[in-house]
């Protein structure tokens, strides 16, 4: 449904950019928000994107930028306020250039993560950012949300993998800063300001991204640990031994394994008695050191010091993939059960074990429920998700859901953690940010938003109220 403002907008847009408003443009994966769009425009070039933004700025029409639409916090939809134009990056999906000898790729915002990873592999390099949604998630969205994933421990978030961006700023100016430089100290870091701004300060249209060398030796192991404490000590040991060679370090709980049993009885798990806690470790090591030997050495020391009671080391790529499949099927196992509430939190590493213990105790005092705590332990990033007790359904928790989440988040904050580790704020956590964010930082954010987007048209309602 067009309103007057969008009607007036149509003649101002570049020719051929409008698309049919299909339902896929109006959805987000968790189904919490219903999107609306007066128009859907898909530019083919940055100049077309700039023309669209300019026109919207003049007409006062809000813009919702849209990448792959995989975000989990509602940043890709606008359920209320003036009906927006939805700007889809789907046609700006080229890999513009690959520089294998520099370790750099230049990709347009609409290219999927998988496209980038395939182009990197073809050039004998890797793009390290790995998400379950990588076949759909696009470069622009990944940067706008500063996405994480399983390799952050070694390679950093999306932010750390971006050397330069091209973007359209909220009044239609094109910022051309697609540098391929590791060092460039020429004024304010506008790139990092747009990264993580979730489309509220401009639209990223292309980026130069870091490609890393493929480690000559790669290995995967899964170790049984007694507790999160033991997992953290094991992480520390692994990092001390591997000199930066630990690529991923994931925590898996017995509850997660039992959910997998229920949802995917055919999925092969290496330990017949489901352990309380598992650590999944991937290493990437130099030429001359076998990954098997390095993992054996780690396991031996971990066993001798009582950190690990059992473990398997993958002896083939297939076995490695099988171990990873356990970790990567956990979210599906969770969906099968149906969560009461999910929490994407991070904590200082030394606070994690105490948090898991105290928060679990607190919650079991509040309600009869099950907790599946898993995630990127190496980054201090837990997915701390709550599920109905056996025999109950999630509806039974409708009245206490908010209270449970608030209690979790308050404990996270009290321990110096974050209530949004890798998913972002979107619309989902706007109130939390307003309540819990540092006031001076929030005031600076607001001042910057007003300065760069005086008309307030860029993804209104996301991040800032």
User: Which residues inside 416-445 make contact with a copy of itself, applying CB under 8 A?
Assistant: 416-425, 429, 433, 437-445
Question: Of 389 and 451, which has the nearer Cβ to a copy of itself?
Answer: 451
Return the residue matching tokens 């956590």: 429
| Cα Rg of the chain, angstroms | 23
- Per-residue binding string, a copy of itself, 247-286, x by CB under 8 A, is -------------------------------------xxx
- Contact 168/50 with Cβ under 8 angstroms? yes
205 binds a copy of itself (CB under 8 A): no
Sign, CA dihedral 99-104-110-112, equals positive
Nearer to a copy of itself, 6 or 146 (CB): 146
For residues 196 and 256, is the Cβ–Cβ distance under 8 A?
Answer: no
According to CB under 8 A, which residues from 184 to 203 bind a copy of itself? 184-190, 192-193, 195-197, 201
Based on CB atoms, which residue is closest to a copy of itself, 6 or 145? 145
Binding-site member from 159, 258, 394, 401 for a copy of itself (CB under 8 A)? 159
Among 81, 297, 306, 338, binds a copy of itself (CB under 8 A): 297
Candidate list 62, 228, 380, 461; residue touching a copy of itself; CB under 8 A: 380
Kindly write down the DSSP assignment for every residue of 38-103, as one continuous string.
SEEE--SSHHHHHHHHHHHHHHT--EEEESSS--SSSTT---SSSPPEEEE-TT---EEEEETTTT
Within 10 angstroms of residue 418's Cβ, the number of other Cβ atoms is: 16
Site residues (CB under 8 A) for a copy of itself, limited to 74-113 = 99, 101-104
Q: Which is nearer to a copy of itself, 29 or 286 (CB)?
A: 286
CB of residue 241 vs a copy of itself: minimum separation in angstroms?
A: 4
Complex with a copy of itself: residue 162 or 371, whichever CB lies closer: 162
Q: Is position 311 an interface residue for a copy of itself (rule: CB under 8 A)? A: no
Say if strands 381-388 and 85-88 run parallel, antiparallel, or are unpaired. unpaired
Least distance from C-beta 104 to a copy of itself, angstroms?
7
Distances (CA, A) of 195 to 89, 142, 192, 360: 16, 9, 5, 34
By CB under 8 A, which span of 22-30, 59-67, 215-223, 253-261 interacts with a copy of itself?
A: 215-223
- Helix ranges (H only) for 243-316 are 254-263, 291-304
Query: What Å distances lie between residue 17 and 22, 27, 88, 137, CA to CA?
Result: 15, 21, 10, 22
């Amino acid at each position: 449904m067009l309103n007057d403002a969008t009607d007036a907008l149509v003649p101002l847009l570049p020719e051929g950019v409008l698309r049919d408003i299909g339902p896929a443009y109006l959805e987000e994966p968790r189904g919490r928000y219903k999107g609306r769009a007066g128009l859907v425009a898909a530019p083919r070039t940055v100049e077309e994107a700039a023309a669209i933004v300019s026109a919207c700025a003049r007409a006062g029409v809000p813009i919702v930028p849209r990448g792959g639409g995989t975000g989990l916090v509602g940043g890709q939809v606008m359920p209320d306020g003036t009906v927006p134009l939805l700007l889809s990056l789907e046609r700006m999906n080229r890999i513009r250039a690959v520089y294998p000898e520099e370790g750099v790729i230049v990709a347009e915002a609409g290219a999927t993560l998988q496209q980038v990873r395939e182009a990197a592999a073809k050039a004998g390099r890797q793009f390290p950012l790995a998400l379950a949604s990588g076949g759909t998630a696009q470069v622009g969205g990944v940067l706008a949300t500063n996405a994480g994933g399983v390799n952050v421990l070694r390679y950093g978030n999306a932010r750390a993998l971006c050397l330069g961006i091209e973007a359209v700023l909220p009044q239609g100016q094109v910022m051309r800063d697609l540098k391929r430089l590791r060092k460039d100290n020429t004024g304010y870091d506008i790139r990092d300001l747009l990264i993580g701004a979730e489309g509220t300060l401009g639209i990223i249209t292309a980026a130069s991204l870091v490609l890393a060398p493929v480690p000559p030796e790669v290995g995967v192991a899964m170790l049984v640990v007694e507790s999160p404490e033991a997992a953290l000590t094991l992480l520390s040991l692994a990092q001390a031994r591997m000199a930066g060679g630990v690529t991923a370090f994931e925590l898996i709980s017995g509850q997660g394994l039992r959910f997998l049993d229920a949802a995917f009885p055919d999925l092969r798990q290496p330990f017949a008695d489901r352990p309380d806690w598992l650590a999944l470790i991937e290493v990437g090591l130099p030429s001359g050191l076998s990954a098997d030997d390095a993992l054996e050495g780690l396991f031996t020391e971990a066993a001798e010091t009582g950190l690990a009671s059992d473990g398997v080391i993958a002896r083939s790529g297939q076995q490695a993939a099988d171990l990873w499949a356990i970790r990567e099927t956990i979210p599906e196992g969770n969906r099968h059960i149906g969560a009461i509430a999910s929490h994407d939190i991070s904590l200082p590493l030394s606070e994690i074990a105490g948090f898991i213990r105290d928060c679990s105790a607190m919650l079991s005092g509040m309600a009869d429920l099950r907790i599946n705590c898993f995630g990127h332990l190496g980054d201090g990033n837990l997915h701390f998700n709550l599920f109905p007790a056996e025999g109950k359904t999630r509806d039974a928790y409708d009245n206490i859901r908010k209270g449970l989440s608030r209690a979790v988040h308050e404990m996270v904050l009290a321990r110096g953690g974050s209530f949004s580790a890798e998913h972002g704020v979107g619309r989902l956590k706007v109130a939390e940010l307003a309540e819990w964010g540092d006031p001076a930082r929030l005031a600076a954010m607001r001042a910057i938003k007003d300065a760069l987007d005086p008309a307030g048209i860029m993804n209104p309602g996301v991040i800032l109220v």
